[in-house]
């Protein structure tokens, strides 16, 4: 029975997502800007047409007002022709504005042919236009703000319309109808729209090109980082990613990655060195065991003294191997924070006193002194701190000649607790003070083996101190003695 698995869509690459986002963002911005330009341009043009229509209507009324006495002195049949002659110089070059003047006696003057058909009342009723919306008694009271202009459509053309009546005298009223063809404005808007479309296409092409080119250029260091990281293995951890030199976020990322690779290289080298050292340390007891085993197999079985000596030596080397493995296991647990959940308040003064009493009890060849054991409460793993103190004491006893002096103390400051073990032993050369913390390092290999040292003591102590976020301080003078301090924050 087979099941058809639906393949999940493959996620887009970062490069593609950035390009799409860039193009989409700028395209939206471009469209919004062009829409705003088109809208405001249209409003400006239409408002200009509206303003021109109102100004022309006001012009006609002002002409009537200025020539009012002469107008009223004429016969009624000649009055509209008189007004038209006064208006003509201002409109003769403007073919888009037409007007119709009539009066209460039924006389009509048309500025051009077709105006009467254009101003047919049937056209206005379709658009609910009040033919003579504005009634003017005093031309000075008329402003653009208080005049509404209507619009209508005729023969596929858009028009603005304004109708008004002007009371010249008690028995004479002139009716003015002005219409403005908006064809030139719409031609302009169509041309503007076409230009914007063309510009949009060109801009979009430029945006896509810049998006692709810019993204490729911007992501080039990331691609190089990915390629370099892909090629880094345990055999070439010395490889580093080339910095851009711009000191920007990307350069900071490269520096962080190089730092991380450097730390990996150091850790890997330390691991290889650790494995090599551990193998070497284990090889010595195994060689001894193998040697005694070969002796026993060959001819040692018949010699009771040799047999006993071989068995004792094998047991001793087994104990050394067991101790070494246990110490290696302890270091591993310390480095993996195995003991962090077991931190409880403990009095370090009592721990120092306990180690001092133990040393006095088991070692009669040295002189011990407890200089100070003040109460100092610290949240810690009590068994680990006790183990570290015992290890310091054990070191002092191993490397201090008989009748030498070893001093213990526990002092406190405002925020620290200092545990100190000082001896009058052989001391450590100044050049080796940092090396003694390294695993398996011995200042004197022969002497260390004689005293049963594995070279892990100080390394374990430092791991315990670091687990408690403290500090191990070693001060020593060759031939005079050593002072080792564990400093813990309270």
Res. 247 pLDDT band, cuts 50 70 90: confident
Residue 307 pLDDT exceeds 80: no
More reliable by pLDDT, 116 or 328: 116
Same domain membership, residue 388 and residue 329 = no
Same domain membership, residue 178 and residue 36 = yes
**Strand partners of residue 178:** 99, 162
Q: Are 28 and 35 in contact (CB under 8 A)?
A: no
Q: Which of 287, 307, 336 is the last residue of a domain?
A: 336
Phi then psi dihedrals of residue 241, to 5 deg: -80, 135
How many domains does one find in the chain? Answer: 3
Q: Which of 37-41, 324-328, 397-401 has the lowest mean pLDDT?
A: 324-328
pTM tops 0.75: no
Res. 140 pLDDT band, cuts 50 70 90: low
Tell me the DSSP string of 475-489.
EEETTTEEEEEEEEE
CATH number at residue 74: 3.30.450
Please tell me the predicted confidence (pLDDT) of residue 236. 73
Tokens (6 digits) for 279: 């193998």
* 200, part of any domain: no
CATH number at residue 251: 1.10.287.130
* 221, part of any domain: no
* 218, part of any domain: no
* 317, part of any domain: yes
More reliable by pLDDT, 210 or 369: 369
Same domain membership, residue 348 and residue 309 = no
Please tell me the predicted confidence (pLDDT) of residue 273. 64
Q: Which of 336, 352, 374 is the last residue of a domain?
A: 336
Res. 408 pLDDT band, cuts 50 70 90: very high
Q: Across residues 378-383, what is the average pLDDT?
A: 87
* 228, part of any domain: no
Nearest to 177 by CA among 76, 109, 81: 109
More reliable by pLDDT, 102 or 90: 102
Model confidence over 3-30: pLDDT tens digits?
Answer: 555 566 677 777 788 888 888 888 899 8
More reliable by pLDDT, 25 or 228: 25
Please tell me the predicted confidence (pLDDT) of residue 452. 52
Task: State which residues form the domain around 296.
Answer: 233-336
Residue 63 pLDDT exceeds 50: yes
d(CA 353, CA 360): 11
Order of strands, sheet of 471-477, starting from the edge strand that comes earlier in the sequence: 367-373, 405-412, 416-423, 481-489, 471-477
Please tell me the predicted confidence (pLDDT) of residue 446. 47
Same domain membership, residue 297 and residue 180 = no
Same domain membership, residue 384 and residue 331 = no
Res. 447 pLDDT band, cuts 50 70 90: very low
CATH number at residue 435: 3.30.565.10
Q: What is the mean pLDDT of the chain?
A: 81
Residue 281 pLDDT exceeds 80: no
* 204, part of any domain: no
Please tell me the predicted confidence (pLDDT) of residue 1. 46
Residue 313 pLDDT exceeds 60: yes
Same domain membership, residue 480 and residue 345 = yes
Q: Which of 318, 336, 354 is the last residue of a domain?
A: 336
* 76, part of any domain: yes
Residue whose structure tokens are 């050292």: 277
Q: 3-class secondary structure for 228-250?
A: HHHHCCCCCCCCCCCCCCCCCHH
Same domain membership, residue 305 and residue 366 = no
d(CA 345, CA 80): 113
Q: Across residues 294-300, what is the average pLDDT?
A: 70
d(CA 88, CA 240): 87
Q: Are 18 and 215 in contact (CB under 8 A)?
A: yes
Please tell me the predicted confidence (pLDDT) of residue 280. 58
More reliable by pLDDT, 121 or 187: 187
What's CA 256's distance to the chain center, in Å?
Answer: 15
Same domain membership, residue 107 and residue 48 = yes
Same domain membership, residue 34 and residue 142 = yes
% pLDDT > 90, the chain? 16
Same domain membership, residue 180 and residue 77 = yes
Model confidence over 328-370: pLDDT tens digits?
Answer: 677 666 666 666 667 889 999 999 999 999 999 989 999 999 9
Residue 72 pLDDT exceeds 70: yes
Q: Across residues 257-269, what is the average pLDDT?
A: 78
- The most confident of the ranges 68-72, 237-241, 321-325 is 68-72
Q: Across residues 283-303, what is the average pLDDT?
A: 71
Same domain membership, residue 326 and residue 284 = yes
Please tell me the predicted confidence (pLDDT) of residue 422. 95
Residue 450 pLDDT exceeds 60: no
On the 0-12 / 13-18 / 19+ scale of CB atoms within 10 A, 214 is middle
Please tell me the predicted confidence (pLDDT) of residue 460. 80
Residue 263 pLDDT exceeds 70: yes
* 6, part of any domain: no
% pLDDT > 70, the chain? 84
Please tell me the predicted confidence (pLDDT) of residue 299. 66
Same domain membership, residue 346 and residue 242 = no
Q: Are 403 and 365 in contact (CB under 8 A)?
A: yes
């Amino acid at each position: 029975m087979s099941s058809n698995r639906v393949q999940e869509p493959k996620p887009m690459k970062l490069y593609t997502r950035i390009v799409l986002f860039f193009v989409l963002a700028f395209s939206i911005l471009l469209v919004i800007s062009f829409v705003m330009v088109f809208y405001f341009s249209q409003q400006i043009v239409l408002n200009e047409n509206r303003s021109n229509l109102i100004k022309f209507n006001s012009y006609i009324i002002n002409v009537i007002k200025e020539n009012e006495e002469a107008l009223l002195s004429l016969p009624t049949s000649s009055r509209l022709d008189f007004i038209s002659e006064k208006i003509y110089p201002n409109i003769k070059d403007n073919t888009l504005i037409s007007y119709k003047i009539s009066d209460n006696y039924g006389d009509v003057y048309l500025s051009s042919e077709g105006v009467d058909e254009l101003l047919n009342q049937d056209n206005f009723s379709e658009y609910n236009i009040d033919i003579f919306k504005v009634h003017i008694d005093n031309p000075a009271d008329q402003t653009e703000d208080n005049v509404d202009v209507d619009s209508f459509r005729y023969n596929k053309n858009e028009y603005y319309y304004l109708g008004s009546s002007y009371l010249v005298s008690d028995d004479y009223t002139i009716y003015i109808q002005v219409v403005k063809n908006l064809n030139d404005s719409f031609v302009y808007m169509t041309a503007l729209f076409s230009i914007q479309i063309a510009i949009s296409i060109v801009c979009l092409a430029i945006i896509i090109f810049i998006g692709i080119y810019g993204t490729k250029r911007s992501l080039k260091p990331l691609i190089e980082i990915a390629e370099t990281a892909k090629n880094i293995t345990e055999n070439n951890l010395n490889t580093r990613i080339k910095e851009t030199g711009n000191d920007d976020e990307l350069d900071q990322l490269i520096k962080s990655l190089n730092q991380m690779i450097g730390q990996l290289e150091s850790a890997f080298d330390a691991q290889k060195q650790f494995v090599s050292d551990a193998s070497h340390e284990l090889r010595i007891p195994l060689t001894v065991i193998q040697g005694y085993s070969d002796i026993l197999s060959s001819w040692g079985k018949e010699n009771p003294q040799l047999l006993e000596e071989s068995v004792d030596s094998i047991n001793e080397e087994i104990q050394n191997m067991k101790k070494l493995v246990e110490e290696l296991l302890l270091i591993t647990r310390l480095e993996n924070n195995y003991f962090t959940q077991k931190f409880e308040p403990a009095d370090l003064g009592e721990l120092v006193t306990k180690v001092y009493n133990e040393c006095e009890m088991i070692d009669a060849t040295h002189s011990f002194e407890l200089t100070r054991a003040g109460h100092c409460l610290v949240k810690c793993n009590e068994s680990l701190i006790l183990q570290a103190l015992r290890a310091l004491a054990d070191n002092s006893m191993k490397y201090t000649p008989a009748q030498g002096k070893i001093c213990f103390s526990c002092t406190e400051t405002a925020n620290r607790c200092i545990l100190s073990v000082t001896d009058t032993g052989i001391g450590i050369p100044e050049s080796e003070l940092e090396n003694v913390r390294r695993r398996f390092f011995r200042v004197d290999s022969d002497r260390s083996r004689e005293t049963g040292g594995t070279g892990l003591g100080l390394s374990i102590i430092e791991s315990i101190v670091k687990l408690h976020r403290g500090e191990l301080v070693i001060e020593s003078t060759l031939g005079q003695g050593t002072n080792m301090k564990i400093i813990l924050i309270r």
